[in-house]
Amino acid sequence: MASDPYLQKRQAMVENDIKGRGIKDKRVLEVMGKIPRHLFVDEHLRDRAYADYPLPIGEGQTISQPYVVSLMTEALMLRPTDRVLEIGTGSGYQAAVLAEIVKEVYTIEIRKSLADMAAKRLKDLGYKNVKVKHADGYSGWEEYASFDAIIITAAANHIPPPLIKQLKEGGRLIIPLGSTVYYQVLTLVAKRKGELDVEQIGPVAFVPMVGEAQRRK
Ligand code: SAH
């Protein structure tokens, strides 16, 4: 196998920006140190793929900062047998991170060109446990519900009710919640006996969830 020219940058990212900021989950650290993030961005951005900020992926959208990807993934406390739903496929990077950790990943992207690109990329990288759908993620993915965990990687001012419905009892959901213009509060929700336990993790800045989420403001 050819040597990986990005190995050093990737290791530095894990040490400084992820571990260094308090992410402890061994599986998350391992996976962030393994996935070729540079293959999820345009060729001219590859040198910056492991930097401590989000990058453009076209259509005004972004691939999240590595730290935020690991923070959200860790918060879900995933198990190898889990089935996870992601809203906002974008580049497919977060889906790949999930796919390395859990059994099945279902991911929905509203912009067709991004959905198509991510699906091809994930297939080329050999991920067989990820299904990509081009649709508005507001209504979730009924056909494959319910899910052990749900991750929403676009900002909304409310949690789409269909997603709460499609979350298993005992399951966890994470979403950047609040204003879709400036920043949001990363919010973790656990479903227990039909009730929601809500925990605010901290401020983040995500692109807005569009479609139904904006009509229901
Ligand atoms: N998780 C992605 C980054 C997400 S950026 C990654 O790892 O690269 C947010 C994405 O959410 C964008 O691609 C945007 O098009 C998508 N999005 C916005 N509103 C959506 C909706 N209603 N349903 C599905 N995807 C949506």
Could you write out the three-class secondary structure of the chain? CCCCCCHHHHHHHHHHHHHHHCCCCHHHHHHHCCCCHHHHCCHHHHHHCCCCCCEEEECCEEECCHHHHHHHHHHCCCCCCCEEEEECCCCCHHHHHHHHHCCEEEEEECCHHHHHHHHHHHHHCCCCCEEEEECCHHHCCHHHCCEEEEEECCEECCCCHHHHHCEEEEEEEEEEECCCCCCEEEEEEEEECCEEEEEEEEEECCCECCCHHHHCC
Residue 1 lies in a domain: no
Ligand 1 centroid, distance to 30 Cα (angstroms): 25
- pLDDT per residue over 3-21, tens digit each? 789 999 999 999 999 999 9
Residue 177: inside a domain: yes
Residue 2 lies in a domain: no
> Is 87 a member of any domain?
yes
CATH number at residue 47: 3.40.50.150
pLDDT at 205 (0 to 100): 94
Domain that holds residue 175: 7-215
pLDDT exceeds 70 at position 202: yes
Distance 19 CA to ligand 1 centre (A): 26
Binned at pLDDT 50, 70 and 90, residue 217 comes out as low
Residue at 201 is within a domain = yes
Whether 177 has a pLDDT exceeding 60, the answer reads yes
Protein residue with least CA distance to atom 2, ligand 1: 90
| Best residue among 71, 73, 110, 158 to mutate for probing ligand 1, ranked by most atoms within 8 Å of CB | 110
For ligand 1, atom 10, which residue shows the shortest CA distance?
88
The answer as to whether 118 is a domain residue is yes
CA of 212 to the centre of ligand 1 (A): 13
pLDDT digits (tens, 9 = 90+) for 28-46: 999 999 999 999 999 999 9
Q: Residues with Cβ within 6 A of ligand 1? A: 61-64, 87-88, 90-91, 93-94, 108-111, 114, 136-138, 153-154, 207, 209-211, 213
Residue type, 212: E
Pocket test for ligand 1, best of 40, 111, 141 (most atoms within 8 A of CB): 111
**How far, in Å, is the centroid of ligand 1 from the Cα of 64?**
10
70 upstream amide cis, omega within 30 of 0: no
Asked if residue 184 belongs to a domain, the reply is yes
Domain-located, residue 17: yes
> Domain count of the chain?
1
What pLDDT is stored for residue 216 in this prediction? Answer: 82
Percent of the chain with pLDDT over 90: 94
The verdict on pTM exceeding 0.95 is: yes
List, for residues 88-128, the tens digit of each pLDDT value: 999 999 999 999 999 999 999 999 999 999 999 999 999 99
The predicted pLDDT at position 2 comes to 61
Closest ligand 1 atom to the C-alpha of 207?
9
